Amino acid sequence: MYAFRYHNAGSIDEAVRLHGSCEDPGYLAGGHTLLPTLKMRLAQPSDLIDLQAIDALKHTSAGAGTLTIGAGVRHNDVARMTHPIPALAGLAGQIGDFQVRNRGTLGGSIANADPAADYPAALVGLGATVVTDRRQIAADDFFVDLFETALEEGELVTSVVFPEPRRAAYMKFPNPASRYAIVGVFVASTAAGMRVAVTGAGACVFRVADMEEALARDFSPDAVADIRIPDDSLNGDIHATPDYRAHLVTVMARRAVALANA
């Protein structure tokens, strides 16, 4: 691990100010990705700005058909809270293992934008809005590519606003060791229409328009049973080929719809 300066920020303003004053800084949330990256010397920030003491990032609130979750809220807290969106609680409860869920945060996960992370499917599947210290970004526009988001240099995620769906569910085929999604599918019937979001299969989360159109006509597992997405742009690795991931998208979508109807 390379040497760096450590800062324990006490407010959002302080964190952003520190980031702007340092040569090559990084924000530290739960640290599940950043710290191993530092240990393997794959990153060399000049400064780390710890966000864990910022209470303003840990709030949750519900009302007017939305659920707002602060960026510093941990996965276990999302899974255990009294929930207006049970599908989101179910998703959070499937992230990693207990140790990961007890340290990892919503904001850290989506800012990292791992292609196999679970939260991106929930954000896009529910049509959420990412709130930063500067602006609001629709989830459809937030995830850009592999480990790439719409965040600008120094921009800090402060919360996510989730619209409450009419019904929704998430199903994934997890890697048995890491519990990352080899393929995960979030299905939601929302006030704005049907949404089907897939994580783990491509470079970043994406929607499946054919499935959304089919479910708008008939919200049943059979409606998507014969829909297969192209595999030419899907991930392939030692865990699953692109062809197998394309197959899993259909399987997980059917299971998610069945769960949403249960």
Task: Give residue 24's domain range.
Answer: 1-55
**Residue 139 domain-assigned (yes or no):** no
pLDDT single digits (tens) 72-87: 999 999 999 877 999 9
Q: 91, 123, 111, 151: which is closest to 31 by C-alpha?
A: 111
User: Which of residues 55, 71, 94 is at a domain's end?
Assistant: 55
C-alpha radius of gyration, the chain, whole number? 18
Name the pLDDT band for 206 (thresholds 50, 70, 90). very high
Q: Cα-flanking dihedrals φ and ψ of residue 184, to 5°? A: -135, 140
**pLDDT confidence tier of residue 107, bands split at 50, 70 and 90:** very high
The token pair that represents 131 in the structure block: 């709130």
Quick check: is 9 in a domain? yes
- Whether residue 3 lies inside any domain: the answer is yes
Q: What pLDDT, in 10s, does the model give residues 131-160?
A: 999 999 999 999 999 999 999 999 999 999
pLDDT score recorded for residue 134: 97
Q: Does residue 159 sit within a domain?
A: no
Among 26, 55, 84, residue at a domain's last position: 55
Q: What CATH number has the domain bearing residue 250?
A: 3.30.390.50
Residue 74 lies in a domain: no
Is 186 inside any structural domain? yes
> Across the strands, what pairs with 48?
6, 26
Tell me what the pLDDT averaged over the chain comes to: 96
Task: Identify the H or E element spanning 202.
Answer: none
Residue 240 has phi, psi (to 5 degrees) of: -165, 140
Q: Which residues contact 32 (CB under 8 A, 6 or more apart)?
A: 96, 100, 103, 104, 108
Task: Tell me how crowded residue 13 is: count the other CB atoms within 10 A of its CB.
Answer: 13
- Residue 111 resides in a domain: no
Which of 55, 85, 100 is the C-terminal boundary of a domain? 55
- The CATH number assigned to the domain holding 35 equals 3.30.43.10
In a domain? residue 146? no
Strand segments, DSSP code E, in 58-180 are 60-63, 66-70, 129-132, 136-138, 143-145, 148-149, 157-163, 167-174
| pLDDT of the residue at 97 | 87
Number of compact structural domains in the chain: 2
